[in-house]
């Protein structure tokens, strides 16, 4: 592998600025960095999920997962989030075809679906709180809100990135390769979705 890579580097030898295009792995610097970051994120969620799995049964005589979760509601919001991955793919596809109008359209739809998911989570948290399960109620509730809250913050940051991207594309201020920037937001977005699949399965579907 190394030999082929080196060959590529040699052929693109005319570009050797501090941040040249000639990447040895064939993956651009930006994308490689995003992959590494997501690799690191896996262990962040790994730690949070382990904490939840350890504590999900520790709620004393109070409300536990079995009584608390509204699985139909969360299934719908999970579906919404998964669909947003589809629209994200559409956005990346449009960006690759240099179709700004459709890129913006799909990015906006993705952001909308993401916001719906976050909205459903806010609704869910509020109703749990009204049922008497707050952040400090039990070890179960603390670890549940921490895990899902961290995921919610990740989705929210994704939504901000998507909307900022729309604004930056509209004003034609993208620094760098537009399609690649959209693709990187896409990588992050898909990662957050995949993590939700794991969380939804472990937290909501498999009984404690």
Site for other proteins contains 128 (CB under 8 A): no
Which lies closer to other proteins via its Cβ, residue 13 or residue 97?
13
Which lies closer to other proteins via its Cβ, residue 34 or residue 155?
34
Helix (H) or strand (E) holding 16: none
Site for other proteins in 157-196 (CB under 8 A): 157, 160-161, 164, 168, 173, 175-177, 181, 184
Site for other proteins contains 6 (CB under 8 A): yes
Q: String of b and e for 137-147 (b: at least 16 CB within 10 Å)?
A: bbbbbbbbbeb
Site for other proteins in 62-121 (CB under 8 A): none
Taking alpha carbons only, the member of 20, 26, 30, 19 closest to residue 1 is 26
CB-based contacts of 42: which residues, under 8 Å, 6+ apart?
Answer: none
CA atoms within 13 A on the CB side of 81: 29
Min CB(73)–other proteins separation in Å: 25
- Round to whole Å and give the CA distance between 134 and 143: 11
Which lies closer to other proteins via its Cβ, residue 34 or residue 91?
34
- Round to whole Å and give the CA distance between 203 and 198: 8
Question: Which CA distances in Å does 2 have to 24, 134, 204?
Answer: 8, 54, 45
Site for other proteins contains 44 (CB under 8 A): yes
Stretch that binds other proteins, among 83-91, 104-112, 138-146, 195-203 (CB under 8 A): 138-146
Site for other proteins contains 61 (CB under 8 A): no
- The residues binding other proteins (CB under 8 A) are 2-3, 6, 9-10, 13, 15-21, 23-25, 27-30, 32-34, 36-37, 39-44, 46-48, 51, 54-55, 58, 60, 135-136, 139, 142-143, 146, 150, 157, 160-161, 164, 168, 173, 175-177, 181, 184
């Amino acid at each position: 592998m190394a030999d082929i890579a080196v060959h590529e580097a040699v052929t693109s030898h005319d570009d050797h600025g501090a941040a040249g295009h000639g990447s040895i792995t064939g993956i651009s610097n930006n994308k490689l960095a995003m992959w590494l970051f997501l690799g690191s994120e896996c262990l962040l969620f790994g730690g949070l999920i382990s904490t939840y799995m350890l504590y999900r049964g520790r709620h004393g005589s109070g409300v536990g997962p079995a009584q608390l979760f509204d699985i139909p509601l969360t299934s719908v919001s999970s579906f919404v989030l998964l669909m947003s991955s589809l629209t994200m793919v559409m956005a990346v596809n449009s960006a690759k075809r240099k179709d700004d109008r459709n890129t913006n359209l799909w990015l906006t739809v993705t952001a909308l679906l993401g916001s719906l998911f976050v909205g459903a989570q806010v609704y869910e948290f509020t109703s749990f709180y009204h049922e008497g399960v707050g952040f400090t109620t039990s070890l179960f509730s603390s670890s549940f809100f921490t895990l899902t809250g961290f995921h919610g913050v990740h989705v929210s940051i994704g939504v901000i990135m998507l909307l900022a991207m729309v604004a930056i594309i509209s004003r034609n201020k993208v620094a760098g390769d537009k399609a690649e920037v959209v693709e990187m937001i896409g990588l992050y977005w898909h990662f957050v979705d995949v993590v939700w699949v794991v969380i939804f399965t472990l937290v909501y579907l498999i009984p404690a």
